[in-house]
Amino acid sequence: MKYQLTIGNRLYFSWPIAAVMMIEHAGLMELVDITTVYPDHEADVRPRIPHLAPARTLPTLTLPCGTQLGDSMAMAEELANRHPDRNMWPEDPKARAIARYLANEMHSSFGALRSSWPVNLRHSYKGLTAPEDVQAELDRLELIWTHARQTTGSRTPWLCCEYSIADAIYAPMATRLTTYGFELGPTSQAYVSAHLSDPALRRLRAAGLAKGAVV
């Protein structure tokens, strides 16, 4: 049996982007059937997915046994445990610890960016000045992304050497920073550019443009 992944409009919903990126980069797409729900607005989500208990959130991953996971980090850890050969976390212990640390900081922080500057893969803007609270979060991203690369000695475009769950979790943030055209530090700019050049993310956006309604 396959995994069932239910996501929202991939042009506007952030965590579905992370879920699809971690699954595709792990080479698990052939094991996953994806269903997309297209609500008109966020308040319209839960009435559209009454079968996705208990939280009724997007994305939701239904395991072959029927258990439903409605949280991106829970999905990441469960898939990594079920498929250890796919190296979804870095193999090196130091890099793995840093990747987990960064992924969970993204999952729990950056409220100014996430609340006021939503993901939008359909439009982009130029010349926007970051408010003070957003600038503080941009500075934090520059700091932790630089720290991760320096500490792990990454010579790839990604945070902890090879692409990992941490990079998938930050993929929506990379698109958000591009959408609003904030001025970025050198590490952030290079990291965002790597995501924009990622074939998996480009395929996700193309699929959204082909099928997704304008919100």
* pLDDT for the residue numbered 193: 98
pTM attached to this predicted model: 0.94
Mean pLDDT for 117-140 is 94
Whether residue 59 has a cis bond before it, omega within 30° of 0: yes
pLDDT band at residue 212 using 50, 70 and 90 as cut-offs: low
pLDDT, tens digit, 9 for 90 and up, residues 54-87: 878 889 999 999 999 999 999 999 999 999 999 9
Q: What is the bridge-based pairing of β-strands 32-37 and 3-8?
A: parallel
- C-alpha distances (whole Å) from 187 to each of 25, 52, 121 are 22, 39, 22
Closest CA to 29 of 199, 213, 215, 209: 199
pLDDT band at residue 26 using 50, 70 and 90 as cut-offs: very high
pLDDT, tens digit, 9 for 90 and up, residues 101-126: 999 999 899 999 998 899 999 999 98
Mean pLDDT for 10-31 is 95
Closest CA to 167 of 86, 106, 121, 111: 106
Evaluate whether 98 touches 152 at the Cβ level (below 8 Å): yes
pLDDT band at residue 43 using 50, 70 and 90 as cut-offs: low
Mean pLDDT for 10-24 is 93
* pLDDT for the residue numbered 23: 98
Alpha carbons 15 and 206: distance in angstroms, whole number: 17
Q: Is 1 exposed, middle or buried (0-12, 13-18, 19+ CB in 10 A)?
A: exposed
Domains with residue ranges and CATH for the chain = 3-87 (3.40.30.10), 93-200 (1.20.1050.10)
Q: Is the pLDDT at 131 greater than 80, yes or no?
A: yes
pLDDT band at residue 40 using 50, 70 and 90 as cut-offs: low
* pLDDT for the residue numbered 45: 76
Alpha carbons 54 and 77: distance in angstroms, whole number: 19
- C-alpha distances (whole Å) from 4 to each of 60, 94, 118 are 8, 32, 26
* pLDDT for the residue numbered 25: 98
